[in-house]
């Protein structure tokens, strides 16, 4: 009887943790990521337009800032794609899970590479200044 109680309490704990995870994932994926990423994307696109102007091309720092803005744009786009997949998954669970499994391997790789590039570009900017 004690073993059954232990199994039941472990199962209930697992269900409770899963509910907490899904709630946090819902809040972050539906609200927080789009609120942060959309203005960030707009700002980065505007920065890219400014950095590509003829007056800004003279400075060497501008090139690094341009590459940093491009790298951040990829990162923010990748995060928005994750949010979009979560929204699709809430509408159609089966298709959303298939889409998540199909995109995860590529998006995870892109996310890691872009994060590494951003770190190195920030380091280069700090050294140059």
Residue of 1, 80, 90, 82 whose CA lies nearest to 42: 80
- Answer with the residue of higher pLDDT: 36 or 19: 36
**pLDDT, the chain, mean:** 86
Rounded to the nearest angstrom, the gap between the alpha carbon of residue 6 and the centroid of all alpha carbons in its chain is 38
Q: What is the band of 30 on the pLDDT scale with cuts at 50, 70, 90? A: confident
- Per-domain residue ranges for the chain? 2-128
The whole-number pLDDT of residue 7 equals: 54
pLDDT digit string (tens) for 45-94?
999 999 998 888 788 888 999 999 999 999 999 999 989 988 888 888 89
The pLDDT, as a whole number, for residue 26 is 85
């Amino acid at each position: 009887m004690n073993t059954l109680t232990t199994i039941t309490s472990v199962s209930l704990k697992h269900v409770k943790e899963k509910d907490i995870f899904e709630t946090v994932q819902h809040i972050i994926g539906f609200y927080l990521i789009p609120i942060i990423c959309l203005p960030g994307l707009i700002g980065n696109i505007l920065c890219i337009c400014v950095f590509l102007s003829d007056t800004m091309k003279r400075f060497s720092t501008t090139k690094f800032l341009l590459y940093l803005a491009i790298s951040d744009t990829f990162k923010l786009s990748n995060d928005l794609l994750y949010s979009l997949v979560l929204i699709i998954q809430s509408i159609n669970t089966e298709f959303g899970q298939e889409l998540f499994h199909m995109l995860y391997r590529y998006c995870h790789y892109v996310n890691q590479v872009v994060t590494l590039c951003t770190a190195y570009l920030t380091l280069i900017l700090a050294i140059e200044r």
